Amino acid sequence: MCGIVGYIGPREAIEYLITGLRRLEYRGYDSSGVALLTSERHLTIRKSAGRIDRLEAILGGIPAASVGIGHTRWATHGAPSDINAHPHLGGDGEVAVVHNGVIENFQSLKRRLESDGYKFCSATDTEVIAHLVASCLKLQPPVEDMAAVQYRPLVAVVQAALSQLQGTYGLTVIFRDWPEVLIVARLGSPIVLGVGDGENFIASDASPLAGYTDKIVYLADHEMAVLTADSMRVYHRDAGHVDLQIHTLELKAGDMDMGSYDHYMLKEIFEQPESIENAMRGRLDFDAATAKFGGLNLTPQQLRSMRRIVMTACGTSWHAGMVGEYVFESLARMPVEVEYASELRYKNPPLDDHTLIFALTQSGETADTLAALREMKRKGHPVLGICNVVGSTIAQESDGGVYLRAGPEIGVASTKAFSSQCTVLAMLALYFGRLRHLSFSAGARIIHQLQELPDKVRQALQCSDKVKEVAAKYAHCNNFLYLGRQFNFPTALEGALKLKEISYIHAEGYPAAEMKHGPIALVDKHTPSVFLMPHGQTYDKVMSNVEEIKARGGPVIAIVCEGDREVGRLADDMIEIPAVEEFLQPIITVIPLQLLAYYIAVARGCDIDKPRNLAKSVTVE
């Protein structure tokens, strides 16, 4: 949640700040703001509730400044408003802070600071940090030349303030009286530093840095960075100075463009053939009829000894994990459980020494998934991450794992990450199956089916015009049921989630056979049922469920294989998709569901890429 940017160097800071905030707006769009600091020690704050456009409209007349910080907010403490927007000032305006995360003990700190005479303007936890830094600054003895001592007194000030905080933070601090320095710190919320030529950059993730620099540094938990225009120093809370580990940023500025599409979500839906190809590139071993992965960091012998798998995730990634459960149990014959990370982090499940954990996340920063990962590692279980963002916290803290290679996903409602996760899980199931019982010929057949998958997705995307017609027909409805069986039950859950996320329509996903155990009471002429029924072992059973809905006057939208005429005699609307093996069906059947959610949301005038109350990267509990 929330986005942070910062700049120090020769150019006007505001240009990078606004560009960066626009690229980070998917992380939070309740309000935004900037703080600009001139070499004459003039500190200017501009902030506004609402989107970046509202902030940009009030930037006229600001002085030129080569140092600045910015923030786009997803509200945790305090309603979205001008006064609660970041940056926040500390003391008498000698400190400005932007912050991502949650300070759990802010109320007790606030009471103490108020008793010391500090005046609070907002309802946020972040203002506590600003005043706390200002209070620690007052205790710092005067230093004539901060640069000569590498700004260590300011580092000590920030460290003293942070030592009193309980919770998570990614934050940036500027000091009115030292306009030549920025200080950045991280605990639980991501911070990426960009290394330029006579300039340095700060961002919550790498997207704002594209086009400005290709050299980046990932700040780790308990680390702090001191940035000037010409230098960057990183310190660990306990270990002192840390050598810079500079990585190459592969992301290009053009990767963040919307292109000819009306929304990022639609662009990302249509990028899925390429993202699936990227997920498979170099990972299919034809000679051994298996998959291969370079980053699992566990030997085949160690993996073969695993008797049980637990997958943990949140939201869309949890649905992908459920698909993985079906695929692993089918291909690898291994027992799999899928746990909500928010629940697993507080559970004490009886897991034996031969249990392997998979942590699934698009961003690699999801707070609950990270906490579950750490808890499982603490108990001695190997944890493999499946994520999309190189250098993310989960990528760094996992024992090994697999990158999705899906490219940037800007739309808040995840689409291509789901299909990429399902693809990676299918390859992992093939790999584990070949380690255990799966024959060479079966492995070769699966590889052939995987190879055909990108073209099958391209064919599925051709249903777009038909889905748009169906969406127009049902956009007025306020309740939907999504029904599927076996591999397509998780896809039903994902389809319902997409509709809820971006169109604000109530929708529920169920195994189709469970419909008569309660949900059928919801069926009426105003409640469409979306059936996922490509050919497979439960096709006839699902057909019976369709009959039951129609007998009660409910409209039926059926997702079927091309050429299926059986369903036509019952369904009000049919959307055809290409036939694939059952273990790959979720990757195909999700395409019309993503498009249905998209076109219904468009018809209802919703904000597709920035749905209300949501943000992309959930870094708070």
Active site residue 422: no
- 3-state SS string over 508-567? EEEEHHHHHHCHHHHCCCCCCEEEECCCCCCHHHHHHHHHHHHHCCCCEEEEEECCCCCH
Distance CA 389, CA 438 (A): 32
Active site residue 2: yes
3-state class (DSSP) for residue 234: strand
The two structure tokens encoding residue 450: 């995987």
Decide: 90 and 132 in contact? Cβ < 8 Å. yes
DSSP state string for 52-76: HHHHHHT-TTPPP-SEEEEEEE--S
> Residue 220 gets which letter from DSSP?
P
Distance CA 227, CA 183 (A): 6
Within the chain, how many helices (H) and strands (E) appear?
Answer: 18, 27
Distance CA 323, CA 360 (A): 12
- 3-state SS string over 367-392? HHHHHHHHHHHHCCCCEEEEECCCCC
Distance CA 63, CA 125 (A): 29
Distance CA 290, CA 440 (A): 8
Strands (E) across 176-315 are located at 178-187, 192-195, 200-203, 215-218, 223-227, 232-236, 240-242, 247-248, 284-285, 290-291, 308-313
Burial label for 243, CB within 10 Å (0-12, 13-18, 19+), is exposed
Which strand (E) or helix (H) includes residue 620?
none
Decide: 375 and 310 in contact? Cβ < 8 Å. no
Amino acid at 435: L
3-state class (DSSP) for residue 424: helix
Q: Is the dihedral of CA 125, 129, 134, 140 positive or negative?
A: positive
Cis peptide before 87 (omega within 30 of 0): yes
Pick the catalytic residue from 267, 416, 498, 616: 616
Please list the active-site residues: 2, 616
